[in-house]
Amino acid sequence: MVPEDVLLEMARPQDHHRTAGFKEMFKDVTEHLQYLFQTEGTCLTLTGSGTAAGEAAIVSACGDGQDHKVLCCRGGKFGERWAEICEAFGIPHVNYDVEWGHGAKAEVIDKMLSEDKSIDTVTLVHSETCSSSVSDVQAIAKVTRKHDALLIVDGITAVGTLPVKMDDWGVDIYFTGSQKALMLPPGLGFLAVNDRAWKRIEAGNAHYYYNNLKKYRKSIEKNDVPFTPNNQLIRGLQKVLQGIKERGLEAVWAHSALMAKATRAAVEAMGLKLFAADPADSVTGTWVPEDVDEGKLRKLFRSKYGMQIAGGQGHIKGKVIRVSHMGYCDAFDTLSVIGALELALNELGHPVELGCGLAAAQKVFAEGL
Amino acid sequence: MVPEDVLLEMARPQDHHRTAGFKEMFKDVTEHLQYLFQTEGTCLTLTGSGTAAGEAAIVSACGDGQDHKVLCCRGGKFGERWAEICEAFGIPHVNYDVEWGHGAKAEVIDKMLSEDKSIDTVTLVHSETCSSSVSDVQAIAKVTRKHDALLIVDGITAVGTLPVKMDDWGVDIYFTGSQKALMLPPGLGFLAVNDRAWKRIEAGNAHYYYNNLKKYRKSIEKNDVPFTPNNQLIRGLQKVLQGIKERGLEAVWAHSALMAKATRAAVEAMGLKLFAADPADSVTGTWVPEDVDEGKLRKLFRSKYGMQIAGGQGHIKGKVIRVSHMGYCDAFDTLSVIGALELALNELGHPVELGCGLAAAQKVFAEGL
C-alpha cells in the first residue's frame, strides 16, 4: 500500500535528473537513508528490483575472480536466491540450509566458518518473508567479525520495520527495496556499504556494469547516479523518509512489533498455529487449518472483505497465509484483518468464537498503544 | 515531460504484481509493445534503466563464454557504453568509430564483417541523442543478415519517435527505455527479441542473473516477470501505449518528423548551424554561436522562459544545444522553443531578426499539419 500523499507527490511534474534541483533532493534522500540503515557508510540507490541490489552487493564484493568463498544462509526463497546468484556468476559458495520458519543460528555459522577458513563472506536474510521468520543479525555479525568475514544482509522486509543498526552491529553491506516498509511501488534498490566492504570491493576487479557498485560510489560523491534513475520514485522516497525521520525509527520499529504481537495473540486465541518458530515482526505466517481450503480463504478475503492476504510460497504453498505488518498499516487495519479471518473461517466451516481473536489483539493494543 | 493523465493514472491505487488483474494488464502491455516495435517477436519488460536493457541484450546474446565477437558502432556516448559493457564482461569486440553527428554506414559495416569473419554480432544506436544523429538501421540490417550476424539496436530515443520496423528490417534485438518517447519517468527497459536471437541466447550459457533474458522469457509465457516489477510504471505504460495505438504509429512518426523539420528550418533561418550531418528527427542539435555563452543561454531558457533545453555531452559540451522532439510536444511547444531562442540570442548579444525562425517553422507547419 502506497500512502495517498506519496502517490500524489509522485504525480507532480518531475525535475530531470541532471538538474541542480534533483541533486539537492537526492542528497537529502541519501542522508535520510543513512539514518534508516543507522550507518555512516555510503548509501546507494539503484534503479531496479531488490534482486538487482542483492546481485550488486554479491558480485561487487565477491565476483572479481579473486579467491572468495561465500556461505549462503538459506531458509526460504530469498536466501536461495542469493545462492543462485553465486551459482550464476561462478562464485564459490557453500550453503547453510535452515529449516523454514527458523532463523539462521550464529553458533552454526561460527562452526562453519571455523571448519572452513576459506569462507570469507556470509549472505543472510534478516527477515525471510516467505517463512515469516527472523534471524538474529546482531549475534551473527559478531561471529562474522570474529572470523574477519564480510557480512551481506538482505534487509528487504526488515529495514524500516525491524530494528536495524548496521554500524553498531557490524554489518558490512545491508540492502533493501522500495516496495516493502518504504511504502513505495517497486523499482528502487538501496545499499548501505561500510569501509570494510569498500576495501574489498575496491581491491577486487569485479568486471560487471549495471550492478557494479564502484560506478555508484563514484557518482554519489557528486550526488549523482551512473545510469538514468527513476526520479519519480526518488521523489516519493524523500517524502516517505522524511515521515520516518519525523516519527523516529524507534517508534516505527515499536509499531511493527506491536502489530505483530497483537496478530500472534489473535491467531493463538483462535486456536490457529503460527508457522514460524522464530517469528518476524514484519509478517505473521499462520498454518491454515486442515479442513479449510486456502484458495477459498484468500478469495473470500479479496472478494467479500476487500483485503489482500498473502499465501505461502514453495513447499508451503496452499498451507499457510501471511499477514504483513510493514509500512502503512495501523492497529485498526490489523483488527480488520483479524475480524475478516474470524468471519471467513466460520463461513468456510471451521468455527471460531466470534470476537475471540479481536479481544486478544485488543489486550495487546491496550497495553502497547 | 510526463502527460498529466498518465501521472494521475499512476497515482491510483495499484494492483500487486502477483494478482490476476496485474497479469491481465501486463498481457495487454506486452501486446502493445509488439505493435510499438513492429514485431511478432517476444517483448520483455525489465525494471531498470535503459542501460540494464542494453546490458541484458549484450550479455544474454554474447556473454556465454562461447566464441562471439561484437562489432560496436560508436558515434556518441551510448555507442561507447555498449562497447564498455563488452569490455566489462570480457566479450571480445572491435569498434567502428563514427564521427559524431554522422550515422554509422552500412558499407563500412559490410567491409568490416567481410574482413573479419569471426564477428557475429553488431551493436548499433539508432538515434544517438548526444550527437543528434541517426543511422540507417534498415540498410545496416540488410548487411548483418547477409553476413549472418546478429544485430542488436539501441532504440532508446528512436522507438516511438522514428520509424522502427523490427521484423521487416530484420533487427534481432531492439531495446528502449520508458523515459523518452514513451513519456514516462525512467525505470523500465523494454526488449524485443526475435527467433534468431533466441536461438543464440538459448544455445549459449550466459550465466548472469538479473539481466539474463532466459529468465524473462520463461516468465512472460505466464504474463509474469522473474523479479518484482515496477507495477506503477507498467500501469502508466499501458495508458501511453493505448494512446499511441489510437493515434497510429505512422501518425506518431510523421509528427516527430514534422517537429524536427520545422526546428531545422527555424535554426537555419536564424543563421545557426545544425550539428549533425545525418540529423535525427528525435532531437535537433545546433552549434551555439561562438559569441554566445552556452551556460548563460541555457540558464536564460530555464530562469526567464521556464523551459529546459539540453546541452552537449562529451567533447561538444558547452558548444551545442539540443531540442527534443520526442513524446509529448506539439507544434506550439516547438514554436515556443524557437521563440525563446530568438529572444535569448538577442539578449545575449547575438542579434537575429525577431520572428524569422518562427516564420520558417510556420511554413513547415502550414504544409505538414
A218 and A351 in a single domain? The answer is: no
Q: Name the closest residue on chain A to residue B235, using Cα atoms.
A: A185
Give the separation between CA A171 and CA A251, rounded to whole angstroms.
22
**CATH code, domain with B199:** 3.40.640.10
Condensed to tens digits (0 to 9), the pLDDT of residues B204-251 reads: 887 789 999 999 999 999 999 999 999 999 999 999 999 999 999 999
pLDDT surpassing 80 at residue A232: yes
**How many structural domains is chain B composed of?**
2
Q: Name the closest residue on chain A to residue B46, using Cα atoms.
A: A48
Reported as a pLDDT band with limits 50, 70 and 90, residue A207 is confident
B53 and B152 in a single domain? The answer is: yes
CB contact under 8 A, B187 and A2: no
Mutate to test the interface with A, among B19, B45, B49 (most CBs of A within 10 A): B49
- Residue B58: predicted pLDDT: 97
Domain boundary among B183, B215, B247: B247
Point out the residue among A13, A209, A308 whose CB comes nearest to the CB of B55: A209
B193 and B81 in a single domain? The answer is: yes
Domain boundary among B196, B219, B247: B247
pTM of the complete model:
0.94
What are the grid coordinates assigned to A104, written together? 539462521
A293 and A222 in a single domain? The answer is: no
Mutate to test the interface with B, among A47, A218, A309 (most CBs of B within 10 A): A47
- Residue A98: predicted pLDDT: 97
- Residue B204: predicted pLDDT: 87
- Residue A118: predicted pLDDT: 97
CB contact under 8 A, A231 and B186: yes
- Residue A167: predicted pLDDT: 98
A32 and A121 in a single domain? The answer is: yes
Residues of B whose CB is below 8 A from A208: 88-89
HEC letters along chain A: CCCHHHHHHHCCCCCCCCCHHHHHHHHHHHHHHHHHHCCCCEEEEEEECHHHHHHHHHHHHHCCCCCCCEEEEECCHHHHHHHHHHHHCCCCEEEEECCCCCCCCHHHHHHHHHHCCCCCEEEEECEECCCCEECCHHHHHHHHHHCCCEEEEECCCCECCECCCHHHHCCCEEEEECCCCCCCCCCEEEEEECHHHHHHHHHCCCCCCCCCHHHHHHHHCCCCCCCCCCHHHHHHHHHHHHHHHHHCHHHHHHHHHHHHHHHHHHHHHCCCCECCCCECCCEEEEECCCCCCHHHHHHHHHHCCCCCCEECCHHHCCCEEEEECCCCCCHHHHHHHHHHHHHHHHHCCCCCCCCHHHHHHHHHHHHHC
Q: Is B176 on the interface with A (CB under 8 A)?
A: no
Q: Is B306 on the interface with A (CB under 8 A)?
A: no
Total CB pairs under 8 A between chain A and B: 134
Point out the residue among A1, A48, A84 whose CB comes nearest to the CB of B47: A48
CB contact under 8 A, B49 and A211: no
Q: Which domain holds residue B343?
A: 249-368
Q: What's the gap in Å between the CA of B353 and the closest CA on chain A?
A: 31
B264 and B243 in a single domain? The answer is: no
The mean predicted confidence, pLDDT, of chain B is 95
Share above pLDDT 70 across residues of chain A, in percent, rounded to a whole number? 100
Q: What's the gap in Å between the CA of B96 and the closest CA on chain A?
A: 21
Q: What's the gap in Å between the CA of B110 and the closest CA on chain A?
A: 29
- Residue A245: predicted pLDDT: 98
Domain boundary among B247, B265, B300: B247
B138 and B260 in a single domain? The answer is: no
Q: Is A307 on the interface with B (CB under 8 A)?
A: no
Q: Is B49 on the interface with A (CB under 8 A)?
A: yes
Q: Among residues B9, B10, B26, which one has the least CA distance to residue B18?
A: B26
Cβ atoms within 10 Å, residue A277: 12
The b-or-e profile of A325-337 (16+ CB within 10 A means b, else e) is: bbbebebebbbbb
Residue B261 CA, distance from chain mean position: 19
Half-sphere exposure of residue A103: CA atoms within 13 angstroms, side-chain side:
17
B194 and B115 in a single domain? The answer is: yes
Q: Among residues A107, A120, A30, which one has the least CA distance to residue A66?
A: A120
Condensed to tens digits (0 to 9), the pLDDT of residues A26-82 reads: 999 999 999 999 999 999 999 999 999 999 999 999 987 778 999 999 999 999 999
A120 and A253 in a single domain? The answer is: no
A239 and A263 in a single domain? The answer is: no
A241 and A269 in a single domain? The answer is: no
**CATH code, domain with B261:** 3.90.1150.10
This model of the complex carries an ipTM of: 0.90
The list of chain B residues with pLDDT below 50 reads: none
Tally the residues of chain A.
Answer: 369
B91 and B240 in a single domain? The answer is: yes
